[in-house]
Amino acid sequence: MSDFPFTAQMGLVYSHPLVRLVVGVVMVIGSMLLGGLLWSKLLGPASSSPMGELVNSLWLAALAMLAYAAFVRWVEKRPVTEFGRHRAVREWAAGVALGFGAITLTVAVIATLGGYRVTGWNPPSVLVPVLALAIFSGVFEEIIARGLVFRLLEQWLGSWTALALSALLFGFLHVLNPNATLLAAAAISIEAGILLGALYMLTRRLWMAIGLHMAWNFTQGGIYGIPVSGLDVQGLLFNTMQGPPLLTGGAFGAEASLPAIVICTSLGLWVLYRAHRKGRFVAASPHRFRTGQAAPAVVPSQA
């Protein structure tokens, strides 16, 4: 009985959202590193072909989802509501439509102002590598940024602080990408950090955020041939972009442009308003901040 206080104290430490956050990130990233190594060993050079990259992307996305589900089941000991089947296809499709519409409107504004011009076409085969990139980034980044970072910080610090911190982290990590600038990182934080976090808050599931993330990257790179977060890609439309980086986003891509910031941030604020009206915000609590106690879970929408 003498070790009971120590056991209880360790239980409190283990249940702290920051500790669970570290465990979750290690589980998800670790599973994908092992899965990627296994895939490259099994296929060898074939794994670097376009179709090999696509299948590998699907494989890694599935591993990330399974690792997240294992974390929720075994560590948090609760149902995996973030990947609930209820309305999954509908929410994912809505996210895809929002992502396609947002980047298309952004490119239309850039083109109207003289920053984007179509000069030719590429064969449909160029879509395969971009699709692989969109699947991997959409699933993996949303699991980490919204499923783990935002959700667990929200339980500890409340919605507003978690949204700000997760958005800043999301933008900061993009500084590591090719052709990244501080403006690009700030744009990602503001437009994508707010919008994607708001979509998770509204639904309390990851499907819509994943759909938007995938569609934005695929449409931007695969259709319009614009760099995706600094990565050069080939799209269906061969184009030239000219003008100041504030208009076009420069070598980083349209994500770093002023039109994208205005359009996506406006959409994100509208989604935040809807989430607030539906009571999906978690209030900050000094007691939870001191003790690390998690806030009660917000029930996902069933409507």
Q: What's the pTM value of the predicted model, to 2 decimals?
A: 0.92
Blockwise average pLDDT, block size 10, the chain, 303 residues: 42 75 96 86 71 90 97 95 94 98 98 96 94 96 98 95 96 92 94 97 97 98 96 94 95 96 97 95 81 72 53
Give me the residue spans of the domains in the chain: 1-77, 85-284
Give the E-state strand segments of the chain in sequence order: 116-121, 237-241
| Cα-Cα-Cα-Cα dihedral sign, residues 33, 14, 160, 201 | positive
Is the separation of the CB atoms in 146 and 200 below 8 Å? yes
Is the separation of the CB atoms in 233 and 122 below 8 Å? no
- Say what the pLDDT of residue 299 is: 66
Is the separation of the CB atoms in 140 and 59 below 8 Å? no
- Say what the pLDDT of residue 212 is: 98
The CA distance from 20 to 155, in Å, is 11
CB neighbourhood size of 165 (10 A) = 16
